[in-house]
Chain A
Amino acid sequence: MKIIACYSNKGGVGKTATSVNLAYASAMAGRSTLLCDLDPQGASGFYFRVKPSKKLRNKAFFKDVQGFLDAIRASDFDNLDLLPANLTYRDFDIFLSRMKNSRSRLKKALMELDSDYDVIILDCPPNISLLSENVFKTADKIVVPVIPTTLSVRTFEQLNDFFKENEYQRKKLLPFFSMVQKSKKLHKDTMLTLRKNYKSLLKNYIPFSSEIEKMGVYRAPVMTFAGKNSAADAYSKIWHEIEAQVKIGK
């Protein structure tokens, strides 16, 4: 089982769209996949029309691992399940405080699924919180969408420094360009500069696309309704790049 976290310390970079579409690409590649919606602002669940159940809103819910497993919902697509946490900040804090020795507890809870999933994709909240740090330790790869603008690049560099300071494995970080507008000179220049500094940057990038925005209307991964669209295609290419870097198996 491989854990791929989708993380960005800056909002609005297409993180949830990435989680949703990569999870779908993984499932379509025949991998049994679980997408965990850990971001209270994220909308992974929304994109799959999955409602958080009444049980899920119950604070005592994440007390035990079985509860965690019971919360899983099948998506409408083969090989793809969801953990629609979608908790409020408050619930999320409770969730964290319950898992006191959270590093090992979270890892344990995830390992519990070992027999079930080939790939777990985590849609993480944007701030560096206790959970995020857990994720940095647990995940096999951390996919980071970066918009090729000065501000967005700066936040990626901050994340990189954070990893360095805390002695996390920087090789886990897999940045890629998101919402790219090739017509903008700034985008092109930034991409060129950043590629020189970060060899781990994925070759493929996600172009800015109105189709991705339409995911909110269709409430489905972009590949399902815009198969030949370049953004849809880019997600599966990015997924294949990730697959090539992690050995996926049970």
Chain B
Amino acid sequence: MDPFVFIFPEAASHKNFLKKLPHIREYTISLARGEKLPAVLLDTFDFELLESAKMLFQLEEKLLCFDVRAGRMVEQLAPKKWSFAADLPEGPVTSQLTGGSNLRAFLPVAEIEICLLHGLLLDDEEKTRARLSTLSMQRGQKAVGVGSTVYLRGYGQAHTDLCRWLEKLGAIACPDVGQVFSLLDIKRELYTAKPIVQIHPDAPARESAVMIINAFMQTARRNENGVAADYDTEFLHDYRVSLRKVRSVLSLFKGVFEVSATACLKEDFASLMQKTNTLRDLDVYLLNKEQYFSLVPAETHEGLHILFMHLAGERKKEHKSVSKFIRSKVYLEDIGRLEKLFADGLALAAGPKGQEKSLIFASGLILKRYAKVCKIARSIDEKTPDEVVHQLRINCKKLRYLMEFFAPLFPKDDLKALVKALKSLQDNLGNFNDYSVQQIFLRQILREKMSGFRGSELKVAESVGALTAMLNRLQNNERGQVMENFILFDSPETRTIFTKLFHTEASVHENNSLLQ
């Protein structure tokens, strides 16, 4: 029997409930009411908890988590300051939090006064037949109560009686946390790193391009604070991905804007992104720390430890400079100018394809890119230089971006199937690239940074050597799988969907030879 997860939408009825509850016939109710406690509601920037219908409260030295879908309220001791689920000791709350990305920090959303109450429905022998917990929340003048019942096996009737009683008092089913947020007047700006821009098939391509760029500009800008404050590494990641997507639109949507303006914009965005390259590289390194330690023999761990201490120090410096930059007047003026340019799309001169209908334009671009991916992939054999594999990766990524940008123009399920088919190949190529970039980074340390490890040069060099060898082996493994993954991607079904979805007179004519 499922628990009844309820909400008292009116504060008054919640207070009544406390007074009236002990009069359910046949039972007595034992209430253990907690005191009113100041608490802070926590969630990640992208509201992972809200999305999964959970509420997390930080109290003095305790955490309280209410899982609305499961109707479960759990508590555990916790330090006053922490950021990530991994910072917490094992416990019932921690296990509620580890389902998410684990990369996002938990940040304060609102200060709320809470009061927890546990009740037992007892029979004449003082046996518990059902339980309930309620959580009253007060934020300024706004108040709301939520709670859930616990059915005890074999005592279905008592549980039903309790639920009916709660309903009589004004409790209604609480399906998610959104209602609690609005009743407490907590403002939330929902965030997604992947905004879907509703473009119209017949809209001019230029207009659609402006809309897409605008959406990603907004996404990038929403991450600026988090990047500067360094809450977690996802802010920078999302910031960079958004800007990269803006650049992709500029370079992939050829002919939509006027040529020279496009070139200038591409340069502007490239230079913006360049400022954060090193920081992101260091983030990736530090995030992979555990994996690196597991790759190399234990004897080299000491050297690796010294290396990571160095990288952590470098990251600190690098973040300071990025943070300074992102808060600087120059940056704010620059990004403000670019933002304005796309917010007011008319300010940009159209290119020769600017007026083309979005659907036709999109189909042409996607089919062309698909043909290019196939052409490169089919040319790859064991002897092909790595450079060509990198080209394949870049083209796959472009194809993926194009399909994502134009997603609203095509049937959802078909597109999903294509993205899924592409994903394994992309993951494979992504790993191939990551391992390659990481080796270059390590070689650069050996070449240029060894003076920073005075006294430990040998140890560090030894671990860098061991790690490079392992990364090289992993890279070769990935390289060996590319052909196989492409064959999986290049199935007759995938080909059929590509032609079906993106088939237009113009696009087929242009790409016919490539698709054979």
Q: Which stretch (A43-51, A127-135, A168-176, A225-233) binds chain B? A: A43-51
B131, closest chain A residue (CB)? A76
- State which residues 43-82 of A face B: CB under 8 Å: 48-51, 53, 70-74, 76, 81
Number of A-B contacts (CB under 8 A): 28
B154 A76 Cβ-Cβ under 8 A: no
Residues in A with CB closer than 8 Å to B127 are 48-51, 76
B281 is an interface residue with CB less than 8 A from chain A: no
Q: Are A73 and B153 interface neighbours, CB within 8 A?
A: yes
Main secondary structure of the interface of A (DSSP, over half): loop
**Pick the contact of A74 from B123, B125, B126, B155 — CB < 8 Å?**
B155
Residue of B nearest to A82 (CB): B154
Q: Which residues of B contact A70 (CB under 8 A)?
A: 154
Distance from A152 Cβ to chain B, minimum over Cβ atoms (Å): 33
Q: Specify which chain A residues have a CB less than 8 angstroms from the CB of B154 in the assembled complex.
A: 53, 70-74, 81
List B residues 90-143 near A (Cβ within 8 Å): 123, 125-128
Q: Kindly list chain A residues whose C-beta atoms are within 8 Å of the C-beta of B298.
A: none
**Cβ of B152 under 8 Å from chain A:** yes
Nearest opposing residue in chain A for B151, CB measure: A74
Most buried by A among B125, B126, B127: B127
- Chain A residues with CB below 8 A from B155, complex form: 73-74
B126 surroundings in chain A (CB, below 8 A): 49, 219
CA distance A81 to B154 in the complex (A): 9
Contact flags A75-107 to B (C-beta < 8 A → 1, else 0): 010000100000000000000000000000000
18 contacts between A and B (CB under 8 A): A49-B123, A49-B126, A49-B127, A50-B127, A51-B127, A53-B154, A70-B154, A71-B154, A72-B154, A73-B152, A73-B154, A74-B152, A74-B153, A74-B155, A76-B127, A76-B128, A81-B153, A81-B154
What residues of B have a CB within 8 angstroms of the CB of A74 in the complex? 152-155
CB proximity of B362 to chain A, nearest CB, Å: 50
Q: Which 3 A-B pairs have the closest CB atoms?
A: A74-B152, A73-B154, A49-B127
The docked-state distance in angstroms from the alpha carbon of A174 to that of B397 is 65
Contact B125 A72 (CB under 8 A): no
| Number of chain B interface residues as a range | under 10
**A72 engages B128 (CB within 8 Å):** no
Q: Are A51 and B153 closer than 8 Å at their CB atoms?
A: no
Q: Which residues of B contact A72 (CB under 8 A)?
A: 153-154
Q: For residues 163 through 191 of chain A, which have their beta carbon under 8 Å from a beta carbon of chain B?
A: none
Q: Is the CB of A49 within 8 A of B125?
A: yes
Q: In the bound complex, how far is the Cα of B156 from the Cα of A71, in angstroms?
A: 12
In whole angstroms, what is the CA distance A50 to B155 when docked? 11
Q: Which residues of chain B come closer than 8 Å to A53, judged between CB atoms? A: 154
Closest to B128 in A: A76
Contacts of A81 in B (CB 8 A): 153-154
CA distance A142 to B128 in the complex (A): 31
Give the distance in Å from the alpha carbon of A53 to the alpha carbon of B155 in the complex.
10
Closest to B152 in A: A74
* Residues from chain A with Cβ under 8 Å of B123 in the complex: 49, 51
From residue A226, how far is it (CB to closest CB) to chain B in Å? Answer: 19
Contacts of A49 in B (CB 8 A): 123, 125-127
**Min CB–CB distance A10 → chain B (angstroms):** 30
Chain B 188-208 residues near chain A, CB threshold 8 A: none
A52, chain B: closest CB distance, angstroms: 11
**14 more CB-based (< 8 A) A-B contacts, given A76-B128, A81-B154:** A49-B125, A49-B126, A51-B125, A70-B154, A71-B154, A72-B154, A73-B153, A73-B154, A73-B155, A74-B153, A74-B154, A76-B127, A219-B125, A219-B126
Residues of B near A76 (CB, < 8 A) are 127-128
Give per-residue flags for B153-171: 1 if the beta carbon is below 8 A from chain A beta carbons, else 0: 1110000000000000000
A180 to B128, CA, bound (A): 34
User: Can you name the residue of chain B whose Cβ is closest to the Cβ of A83?
Assistant: B154
- Min CB distance B315 to A, Å, is 40
- Cβ < 8 Å to B, chain A residues 122-163: none
- Complex Cα gap A173–B40 (Å): 55
* Residues of chain B lying within 8 A (CB to CB) of residue A71: 154
* Bound complex: CA A132 to CA B152 (Å): 30
Q: Which residues of A contact B152 (CB under 8 A)?
A: 73-74
Closest B residue by C-beta to A77: B128
Q: Which of A49, A72, A74, A81 has the most CB of B within 10 A?
A: A74
- The distance from the CB of A176 to the nearest CB of chain B, in whole angstroms, is 30
Shortest CB–CB separation between residue B1 and chain A, in angstroms? 11
A73: chain B residues at CB < 8 Å are 152-155
A74 CA to B153 CA, complexed, in Å: 5
State the CA gap A242–B441 with chains docked (Å).
55
A51 to B154, CA, bound (A): 11
Among B123, B128, B154, B155, the one with the most A-chain Cβ atoms within 10 Å of its Cβ is: B154
A169–B127 Cα distance when bound, in Å, is: 39
Interface positions, chain A 185-214, Cβ under 8 Å from B, are: none
A55 → B minimal CB distance (Å):
10
> Whole-angstrom distance between the alpha carbons of A75 and B152 in the complex?
8
- What A residues does B153 contact at CB under 8 A? 72-74, 81
B150 closest partner in A (C-beta): A74
Of chain A, the residue at the smallest CB distance from B124 is A51
Docked pose: A71 CA to B128 CA in angstroms = 16
With A and B bound together, what is the CA distance between A48 and B127 in angstroms? 8
Measured CB to CB, the nearest residue on chain B to A53 is B154
User: In the complex the two chains form, what is the Cα distance from A74 to B156 in whole Å?
Assistant: 11
In the complex, what distance in Å separates the CA atom of A75 from the CA atom of B128?
Answer: 8
CB-defined contacts of A50 to chain B, threshold 8 Å: 127
